[in-house]
Amino acid sequence: MNIIQCQFCKKPFASISGRICPECLQQIDRDFITVRDYIYENKHANIDVISEETEVKKAVIIHLLKEGRLIIDGPDGGGGVLACEMCKKPINTGRLCKECMGSVASSMDKNVTIHKKPEPAKEEPNLKGSAKIGKK
Ligand SMILES: [Zn+2]
Ligand SMILES: [Zn+2]
């Protein structure tokens, strides 16, 4: 467990995973519902208006967008609030545009192993010569 500074309220807290303290996470969940309901009613509102009308901080709305929990409806990423982290193209949700996501996914296959589950324990080779039951 690490003591780190919360991304939103800047308070230090003991983190198991993530950079947001439990209080802020709860607040974000409440904010999420507020913003989501607002967007249902006001499909083309931009993020400034949403923030003003719902009193939810812009940083929280952007966080929700990056997590993919909210999606901006509109061709330009709601006024360029979100941009692909690789090619800077406006996007509506998440961190990367579809093209970059595709290229990241294919390069991940080659060299990134951090996110992969540990390999299952290898079977001991001392069964050599005996037939295994069942197919893998
Ligand atoms: Zn916090
Ligand atoms: Zn991109």
Average confidence (pLDDT) over 38-42: 87
Shortest-distance ligand to the CA of residue 20: 1
Shortest-distance ligand to the CA of residue 24: 1
* Dist. CA 27 → ligand 1 center (Å): 9
Phi, psi of 67 (to 5 degrees): -75, -10
Shortest-distance ligand to the CA of residue 95: 2
- Cα distance between residue 29 and residue 23, in whole Å: 10
- Taking residue 124's Cβ as centre, other Cβ atoms within 10 Å add up to 7
pLDDT at 1 over 90: no
The tens digit of pLDDT for each residue in 52-67 reads 999 999 999 999 999 9
